[in-house]
Chains A and B, each alone.
Chain A
Amino acid sequence: MKPGIAAAIIYTSIALLGAGSFLAATTLSGDYDWVARLGGAGWVFLLSMIILMPTITPWVKRRLGRAEAREQTVHHK
């Protein structure tokens, strides 16, 4: 899998998880209307994506690169 796609899957999943948690928290506790819940979840998702994209992408690229290198070395041997 291409590192970019792998990274996108990871950060989008985590951001969705964050937004979902927010939605769950606002549903289970407090007296929030649907605009606050959905708007808040959207804002949490957006900020989470912005935070995670530049963090996850190079991390995944590094890890996949190292794994490929290990495979190549084994292959050569």
Chain B
Amino acid sequence: MAKGKVEEITLPVAGMSCAACVNKVEKVLKGLPGVADAKVNLAAAKAGVEYDPAACSLTDMAEAVRGIGYEVPWDRIELLVLGMMGSHCQTIISKAVGELEGVAKVEVNLGTDTVTVEYAASRISAAQIKKTIRELGYEVSDKAEGEAALDRERQARQQEVRRQLVNLLLALPLGLLVMAGTFRDYWVLDKFIPEFLANKYTLWALTTPVVLGPGRQFFVNSFNGLRRGLTDMNLLYATGIGAAYFIAVINTFWPDAGFGGEKATFYESAALLTSFIVLGRYLEAVTRGRTSEAIRKLMKLQPKRARVLRDGEELEIGADEVEAGDVCLVRPGESIPVDGVVVDGYSAVDESMITGESIPVEKKAGDEVIGGTMNKTGAFRFRATKVGRETALAQIVKLVEDAQTTKAPIQRLADSVAGHFILGVHLLALGVFLFWFFGGFNWWFDPNSHFILSPAELSGLEVFGFSLLLSVTVLVISCPCAVGLATPSAIMAGSGLGAQNGILFKGADAMETTAKLQTIIFDKTGTLTLGEPSVTDVVSLSGARDEVLRLAAIAERNSEHPLGEAIVRGAQERGLDVPAAEEFVAIPGQGVEARQNGATILLGNRKLMAEKGIGLDGLLPEAERLEGEGKTAMFVASGGQALGIIAVADTLKPTSAQAVRELHGLGMEVAMITGDNRRTAEAIARQVGIDRVLAEVLPQDKAAEVRKLQEQGRRVAMVGDGINDAPALAQADVGIAIGSGTDVAKETGHVILVKDDLLDVVAAIQVARFTMRKVRQNLGWAFGYNTLAIPLGAGLLYPFTAQIVSPELAAFLMAISSLSVTLNAMSMRGYRPPIRRGGRPTLARHEPQPHREAVRPGV
């Protein structure tokens, strides 16, 4: 029996505590097909495995070990890889690195140009992994974090830009000289262009350095790919340039060889083809990375220095050295180094970079401050609560980076197409060659025909040269880069845009679904409303509303009931004197009875008043009206006489009604879900214009209500508190967690709104729709371009127009196509959601604002 090659590997295994664990791990490993032997060292937490790599992969081993409850902590390396142009590059790197012995997992993030590899250090080194990627034609360096990462990335990008610029500076002037020489005999050009430039040997001498210099990268990279059985864009370029140059050289030195002779040297094809591809690479290098500018801006916010008080001394230290509990000092104009809580002082802080809030937020003792935001006016001291990776800024950057690695469902089609594109194009090129060779040339070839936008005639060409030219053009004109870049470039820009406005999409799929939403369900308490009751109406029979309120507050002064606290707070906000009652009795289910200055004050419902023999004539209609509005009406009586009514309710947030209006404007159905009774719920719904009310729903049933709406075929978003409404948020197509503040990472939900402002729900939908519009534009352009350009390159119009696309024009069109997609994504910079444009009235403070009160005249 032929046995495969047996190799040894040391597998790290974590979580083993005894000999039984050792036996278990050994047994499961030995049971795998292809594993000859496994020995586990408990002390070293490692397993030595003899195995046949052809029959068993490292992933199989890791999965088997994980399956019985242990961890396999592979070594991990994060690399910055420059030069990836689309999902095809993603596939190539995944495949090439994934096939290396000792590599367990490869993740390629096109958005952040990052390749993360999990590997067994006993089998392969990080240097070998880097070498493999480098050999495929990419720039590789270790990925750093934070500011250092930015510097490294910038440096590496600049290097790539410089490299391609040097290539371009060599290729383009020489290419233009070759073109001038080739077309010297046309029009009046012979008067300006010296004769020697049109000499075929001069053209050869000018073209060769272009092909072997700037063009060399395509040959080397495609060869390295082919060695591993991989094809990429470089191969398309290399075959195109190589074939054009090959024909030109043959026709120069062996003109009778039958490749079209001296008139068909086409050096300008090889030279300009290289120039345009290099131009495309250069522009790509310049523009690439700019779509991720938003996240760079966020990363740049991280302050470098901090001033802290230690042992009573003021020290200036690095922001990364601040520890939780340190007291930091912030002066006007300085950035806040880490997250914390103000200890003393007063100031206004610009938080726009984190929350999108354009108006500076007032900060006083007890308020939270966010690291990376800018202190404006005053000085203050704060105690650091979150430092390093725990800060809101670090969490936001991580969340956005993670989101950028995910794929939108719309991208699957693009990836599938781009993944098979290169192969398909080569198949098509073969078909085109065979078609024109065996049939097309004989049927339609016209010696007077010429290239589109070129006076050069094709008369010198014969069947092989003509068929080869069209075949090469097909290779060059196709552009899988545009297809591959269409979605990730726009998603990356969109998620960055969201982050700048305090809207964090947890993945590309969340963004795509948000753009397609049909119904938005708001949780009532704490989302649509402020979540705490307040006095809304005071009715007085005598007209003395303040006195009615004052007496009610005295009665409730010692109460701990939320309604009582709301009444006391309401009286204090009006500046009323509220002395403590001399006696106080709470009557369960009815209200309170208190005594002050010898008078008895009663505050409660109808039952209380009836039991105490208080007549409510004149007050009942008003009480019913208030209850009809969803408010809790409480009667106030003193000295045996009814005096008036105090109405208390949970009030709407200032922007709730506007947010619902705007959502209607976006074509959304707006629903509200609450545990309140239907009458109260409908009263609130009427005030804001809610379409559908889901009342009397217990917290645990909210998810089921969301499901019911989904079963009606609607795409539903649930907006609520990320912690209390977690099941409903998870059930919804999109869970929107509102008002997370600095606790971004803890939130459930697919979209996280940093601020507690419902208008951000509108902004999130606007950002998502705008992004998906750009994705569709990009995909439309990329697919449209290839659908039109490839048949054109294959000579579809030749029988009717007697014109074909030259390889250099094909290269130009290809470069423009790829660039247009990136530029379209770049044009998203500076976008502001319409709801955030034009100075709407915003709240500048995070704490609840004083409520508008509908204080009614006396009855």
Contact = CB atoms under 8 A, between A and B. Distances in A.
Decide whether A and B assemble into one complex.
yes
A23 interface: no
B817 interface: no
B55 A50 contact: no
A63 to B, nearest CB: 11
Interface in B266-304: none
A7 to B, nearest CB: 7
Place the interface of chain B in its size category.
35 or more
Given A36-B462, A71-B3, A44 B231 contact: no
B464 A72 contact: no
A72 B231 contact: no
Contact of B55 (A39, A55, A68): A68
Given A3-B54, A54-B229, A35 B257 contact: yes
B229 A47 contact: no
Given A35-B257, A50-B231, A53-B229, A44 B430 contact: yes
Contacts of A46: 239
B451 interface: no
Given A7-B229, A36-B463, A43-B433, A68 B52 contact: yes
B427 A51 contact: yes
Given A7-B229, A35-B464, A36-B464, A69 B55 contact: yes
B464 A48 contact: no
A64 interface: yes
Which of the four size classes fits the interface of chain A?
35 or more
Residue of A30, A40, A64, A73 most packed against chain B (CB within 10 A): A40
A25 B231 CA distance: 29
A68 B433 contact: no
B89 to A, nearest CB: 14
Interface of A is mostly: helix
A72 B462 CA distance: 58
Contacts of A55: 423
Contacts of B52: 68, 72
B561 to A, nearest CB: 71
B103 interface: no
A57 interface: yes
B259 interface: yes
B110 interface: no
B467 interface: yes
Interface string A27-63: 0001011111001100110111011011111100100
Nearest to B256: A35
Given A68-B55, A75-B1, A39 B423 contact: no
25 contacts: A7-B229, A30-B438, A32-B463, A32-B464, A33-B462, A35-B464, A39-B258, A39-B259, A39-B468, A40-B437, A44-B430, A44-B434, A47-B426, A47-B471, A48-B430, A54-B231, A54-B423, A55-B423, A58-B229, A65-B55, A69-B55, A71-B2, A72-B33, A72-B52, A75-B3
User: Shortest 4 CB-CB distances between A and B: which pairs?
Assistant: A35-B258, A57-B229, A36-B464, A68-B55
Given A22-B434, A56-B229, A58-B229, 8 more contacts: A32-B463, A39-B468, A40-B437, A40-B464, A43-B433, A47-B426, A53-B231, A76-B33
